[in-house]
Amino acid sequence: MAVEVVYRSSRDLERLFMDKAEADRHDKMLELAELLTEVLQKAVPSLNEQQGEELGIFMAKNREIFAKAFKNQPDALSELGQAEAE
């Protein structure tokens, strides 16, 4: 019988990972998404909870692209549309 080590994110108990680093990255992404959700809902009170969560997760998953855009490379945002089309 083989033994397999799996890792679980502390913020997403349903997902399992084969690599601790991958689980840590997922956990950090979810933490960022949670903070973004709070900021977005404060900035736009008309956002409902689900919309805020979806936006927060979207932005956290694409944080590298948003970082480029905020560093005077606004054209980087066009990468978002390309990724969705694929």
Q: Report the CATH number at residue 57.
A: 1.10.10.710
- What pTM did the predictor assign? 0.78
Residue 2: inside a domain, yes or no?
no
Q: What is the pLDDT of residue 2?
A: 87
**Nearest residue to 12 (alpha-carbon basis) of 55, 29, 4, 20:** 29
Q: Looking at residues 59-71, what average pLDDT do you find? A: 94
Structural domain tally of the chain?
1
Confidence class for position 13, pLDDT limits 50, 70, 90: confident
Distance separating alpha carbons of residues 66 and 61, to the nearest angstrom: 10
Confidence class for position 12, pLDDT limits 50, 70, 90: confident
Q: Is the pLDDT of residue 84 over 70?
A: no
Residue 52: inside a domain, yes or no?
yes
Residue 1: inside a domain, yes or no?
no
Handedness of CA 43, 80, 68, 60 (dihedral sign): positive
